[in-house]
């Protein structure tokens, strides 16, 4: 049920911001890139789950944010607001931040504690949620935004992945995806959507959880 509400909200926002015909033409023009991105995302989840070298997930998240930014900037003329073009540039900046942070990225195994499990669950929902919910919303799955092309699932993936990182790197990588999700909720609110608060609530909850985990992490006394 939560998955349905999350991604029906995503579809509503997309239809409000982008001309459906422009979105359809864009989706057709990049086919079958959607399949490639889902396959890459699935491989990235494997690296996140076992806690291997953190550079691969960081590189892929850099790619996904850059691609989402480029797609938003590409479609900005079809949007009803120029804010989307600004977010497109910010997403490209976010991708560059992930790229620069790759060498500093230490992955926590997804089964190590409750916070990493939350992060892994959020990553899986961000990647595979649109595929499962699309048939119930009478949308072809490749027309529903996926991580790596659409800003909302990409932002959720980015925020969730931060639960699998150690240290202070999280706070450098969280503001832009968090800002997008808040803007997403604002657009839905302006459209009188009954589900406008869901994604902002999820994002705020994730940020609070990261903050509390951060405090706990830095209060652990070092062993002699």
Q: Give the mean model confidence (pLDDT) for residues 153-167.
A: 84
The predicted-structure confidence for 53-98, as pLDDT tens digits, reads as follows 667 788 889 999 999 898 877 765 545 567 888 898 999 999 999 9
pTM of the full structure? 0.81
Closest by CA to 181, choosing from 194, 199, 163, is 199
Burial label for 180, CB within 10 Å (0-12, 13-18, 19+), is: buried
Q: What is the pLDDT of residue 19?
A: 55
Q: What is the pLDDT of residue 45?
A: 77
Q: What is the pLDDT of residue 175?
A: 94
Axis crossing angle, helix 198-219 with helix 2-17, rounded to the nearest 10: 120
Where residue 1 falls among pLDDT bands split at 50, 70, 90? very low
For residues 117 and 161, what is the distance between their CA atoms, to the nearest angstrom?
Answer: 10
41's CB contacts (< 8 A; 6+ apart) are: 60, 64, 127, 147, 148, 157
**pLDDT greater than 70 at residue 134:** no
Preceding amide of 32 cis, omega within 30: yes
Burial label for 117, CB within 10 Å (0-12, 13-18, 19+), is: middle
Would you give the end-to-end CA distance of the chain in angstroms? 49
């Amino acid at each position: 049920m939560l998955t349905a509400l999350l991604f029906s909200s995503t579809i509503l926002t997309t239809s409000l911001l982008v001309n459906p015909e422009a979105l359809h033409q864009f989706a057709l023009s990049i086919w079958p890139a959607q399949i490639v991105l889902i396959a890459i995302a699935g491989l990235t989840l494997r690296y996140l789950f076992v806690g291997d070298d953190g550079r691969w997930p960081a590189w892929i998240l850099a790619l996904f944010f850059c691609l989402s930014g480029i797609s938003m900037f590409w479609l900005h003329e079809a949007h009803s607001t120029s804010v989307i073009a600004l977010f497109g540039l910010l997403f490209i900046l976010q991708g560059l931040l992930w790229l620069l942070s790759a060498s500093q990225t230490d992955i926590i195994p997804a089964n190590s504690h409750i916070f990493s499990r939350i992060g892994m669950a959020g990553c899986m929902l961000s990647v595979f949620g649109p595929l499962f919910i699309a048939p119930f919303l009478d949308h072809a799955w490749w027309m529903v935004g996926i991580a790596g092309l659409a800003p909302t699932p990409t932002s959720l993936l980015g925020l969730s992945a931060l639960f699998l990182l150690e240290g202070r790197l999280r706070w450098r990588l969280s503001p832009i995806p968090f800002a997008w999700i808040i803007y997403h909720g604002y657009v839905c609110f302006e459209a009188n959507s009954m589900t406008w608060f869901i994604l902002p609530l999820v994002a705020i909850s994730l940020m609070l959880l990261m903050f509390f985990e951060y405090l706990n992490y830095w209060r652990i006394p070092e062993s002699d």
